[in-house]
Chains A and B, each alone.
Chain A
Amino acid sequence: MDQLLLLESVERYLRNEMNAEERKHFEDLRKNNPELDQLVVEHHFFLEEMDRYGEIKRFKANLYDTHHTLQENGEIKDLTLNVPGKIITLWKKYRRVVAVAASIAGITALVISGIITMVTPKAPIKDIEELRRIVNNLEKKTNSQGRELSDVKKKIEPGTPIRYGGSSFLVDGRGYLITSAHVVQNAAQVFVQNVKGQDFRAEIVYTDELKDLAVLRIKDSDFKAVANIPYGIRKSNTDIAEPIFTLGFPKDEIVYGEGYLSAKTGLKGDTMACQISITANPGNSGGPVLNRNGEVIGILNARQTTAEGVVFAIKSQNILRLVDELKKKDTLYNIKLNTSSSIKNMERVQQVKSIENCIYMVKVVEKK
């Protein structure tokens, strides 16, 4: 209570609320009492602080009011409408960070995709697959004994790398064979092997990449000319649904396949080819496609990879044209085509027996 009274006196003194007598008394007291003097000084400072606190507080309140009044009167406006929005401000502030992050992400993506491209096996996606065979190891278990007897001197040196294989068939008894051009492309050496397993050296006489046809000629002293070719080359078109069969070398033995003609044109309406439905595998390329009369109606060359059971064959008319072209170019190759089949009305087994001697496997040694 004393303290309160003292404080009250000090305040009254400082605020000049004392009368003269009281004031004199208080001043005397202050002179003699340093503690009181200290209290007066302290309180004086405090009241000043308090005043300033009050002033600033009132001033601030005033400012706050003014701001609102002016805003209501429209004398000051928010600028937010004129300046870029929050997102843009953020973007401006962080665009460098964003740029760095984006480039890191971009580079990472590029590196990853690059690695993936490097690592993944390169398999070009093609609509069609040409049916030549890639030969890793030509094993000739079958007919090996017969072969040894008839073929004392080996034509193919052991270790000669045979890269590709296909099928071919005789069109002239003197040793002219027809096969697909893609089978013998990039060939350094070509060998053909008959159904008994006997190898013969052959040369490429003519190739027509556009027709995908090639003419080979057996140039080997061991080769004996065939007197009669049992099948003929058909000159006209074949009807849809006509049953057909093929012989070829998708493996080291001759393989027979049966099917039907499913369309008169090839891939994307290619009129040089026709579509057949048959089981065909790599190695069948260059093999003849025959009808039930024993007429060659086409040369098997490709199958569609994006569809099941769609195989294409080059129409037989192209053989006739090819031979004509060849004759014009060089009279040396005077190929005589057999156009009439001699195996009409025979049982299929008998037909195949007589045909298979004229079907040859093609072995290609690739150019280095």
Chain B
Amino acid sequence: MTTSAKEQELLKGLANNDKKAIEAIYADNYGLIQHFVINNNGSEDDARDIFQESLIVLYENARSPEFSLNCQIRTYLYSVSRRLWLKKLQYGRRFEAQVESLEDTVPVEEDLETHEKMSRQYGIMRGAMGKIGEPCKSLLEAFYVHHKNMHEIASFFGYTNADNAKNQKYKCLMRLKKLFFAQYKNGN
């Protein structure tokens, strides 16, 4: 089973965090997942969270070069959402009967395991970021997340020159690394 050229295009766009591609995938598939979650004891917010998480799983996979999707994006997203929602229901002890499923599903357990590991690391990083406080957090995010150069950062944060900002950045980075690795080693 091969996916159409259009889907490949969309996947590529997704991997590059392209707004157009994301919008197309979002608009095509949100309704399905929304119906599924809401018809199975979920709320509107639950539906959004589950769908976005399934998109992240797809995004993570699409970025790795050896990934190839052997089914439709729709089926993949539905399968992931379904697993994620089942897990959440079981976790909250809200699981009642078999969740109804009229759509095809594909096995996604392995992808989800990777995703779980990644989201745990993401959580650690977010926690560490939360702990270092301002202005370190904004400074580091400006550099590493938004890829601003040191001159922009210096003017934005009000440092006299780029060197000062760079100094400050490395101080913050040291603290962040310390926090991150402490948590990381605890977790593993």
| Of B21-29, B72-80, B152-160, the one with at least 4 CB within 8 A of chain A | B21-29
| Of A67-75, A283-291, A357-365, the one with at least 4 CB within 8 A of chain B | A67-75
Task: Report the separation of the CA atoms of residues A63 and B23 in the bound assembly, to the nearest whole angstrom.
Answer: 8
Tell me, yes or no, whether A3 is within 8 Å of chain B by CB. yes
- Contact between A66 and B22 (Cβ–Cβ < 8 Å)? yes
- Contact between B145 and A54 (Cβ–Cβ < 8 Å)? yes
Tell me, yes or no, whether A93 is within 8 Å of chain B by CB. yes
Question: Which B residues, 11 to 51, have Cβ-Cβ distances below 8 Å to chain A?
Answer: 17, 19, 22-23, 26-27, 30-31, 34-35, 38-39, 41, 44, 47-48
The answer to whether A54 and B144 touch (CB under 8 A), given A70-B30, A75-B27, is yes
- Contact between B145 and A53 (Cβ–Cβ < 8 Å)? yes
Interface string of A52-94 (1 = CB under 8 A from B): 1111111110111111011000011011100100000100010
B171 to chain A, nearest CB (A): 7
- Contact between B125 and A50 (Cβ–Cβ < 8 Å)? yes
Find B145's partner among A57, A62, A93 (CB 8 Å cutoff).
Answer: A57
- Contact between A60 and B35 (Cβ–Cβ < 8 Å)? no
- Contact between A7 and B26 (Cβ–Cβ < 8 Å)? no
Task: Report the separation of the CA atoms of residues A65 and B52 in the bound assembly, to the nearest whole angstrom.
Answer: 12
A48 to chain B, nearest CB (A): 10
Find B27's partner among A50, A65, A70, A93 (CB 8 Å cutoff).
Answer: A70
- Chain A binding site: helix, strand, loop or mixed by DSSP? helix
Tell me, yes or no, whether B131 is within 8 Å of chain A by CB. no
Tell me, yes or no, whether A46 is within 8 Å of chain B by CB. yes
Interface string of A35-49 (1 = CB under 8 A from B): 000000011001001
Find B144's partner among A4, A8, A50, A65 (CB 8 Å cutoff).
Answer: A50
Chain A residues within 8 Å of B171, by CB: 4
- Contact between A78 and B44 (Cβ–Cβ < 8 Å)? yes
A55, closest chain B residue (CB): B17
Tell me, yes or no, whether A222 is within 8 Å of chain B by CB. no
A79, closest chain B residue (CB): B38
Interface string of B162-188 (1 = CB under 8 A from A): 000011001101100100110000000
Tell me, yes or no, whether A51 is within 8 Å of chain B by CB. yes
Chain A residues within 8 Å of B167, by CB: 4
- Contact between B125 and A62 (Cβ–Cβ < 8 Å)? no
Interface string of B91-127 (1 = CB under 8 A from A): 0001010000000000000000000001001100110
Chain A residues within 8 Å of B35, by CB: 79
The answer to whether A66 and B19 touch (CB under 8 A), given A8-B166, A49-B121, is yes
B34, closest chain A residue (CB): A79
B24, closest chain A residue (CB): A66
B184, closest chain A residue (CB): A49
Chain B residues within 8 Å of A66, by CB: 19, 22-23, 26
The answer to whether A8 and B170 touch (CB under 8 A), given A49-B121, A54-B145, A67-B48, is yes
Tell me, yes or no, whether B55 is within 8 Å of chain A by CB. yes
- Contact between B52 and A60 (Cβ–Cβ < 8 Å)? yes
Task: Report the separation of the CA atoms of residues A63 and B56 in the bound assembly, to the nearest whole angstrom.
Answer: 9
Find B23's partner among A43, A57, A69 (CB 8 Å cutoff).
Answer: A69
A1, closest chain B residue (CB): B167
The answer to whether A62 and B121 touch (CB under 8 A), given A76-B27, A79-B38, is no
- Contact between B173 and A70 (Cβ–Cβ < 8 Å)? no
A67, closest chain B residue (CB): B48
Find B121's partner among A11, A52, A58 (CB 8 Å cutoff).
Answer: A52
Find B17's partner among A11, A59, A69, A79 (CB 8 Å cutoff).
Answer: A59
Chain A residues within 8 Å of B144, by CB: 50-51, 53-54
Find A59's partner among B59, B125, B170 (CB 8 Å cutoff).
Answer: B59
B-side interface residues toward A, CB under 8 Å?
Answer: 17, 19, 22-23, 26-27, 30-31, 34-35, 38-39, 41, 44, 47-48, 52, 55-56, 59-60, 63, 94, 96, 118, 121-122, 125-126, 129, 141, 144-147, 166-167, 170-171, 173-174, 177, 180-181
Q: List 15 A-B contacts (CB under 8 A).
A: A4-B170, A50-B125, A50-B144, A53-B144, A54-B146, A56-B60, A58-B17, A58-B146, A63-B55, A65-B19, A79-B35, A79-B44, A80-B38, A83-B39, A93-B96
A-side interface residues toward B, CB under 8 Å?
Answer: 3-4, 7-8, 11, 42-43, 46, 49-60, 62-67, 69-70, 75-76, 78-80, 83, 89, 93
**What 5 pairs between A and B have smallest CB-CB spacing?**
A54-B145, A53-B125, A4-B170, A75-B27, A76-B30
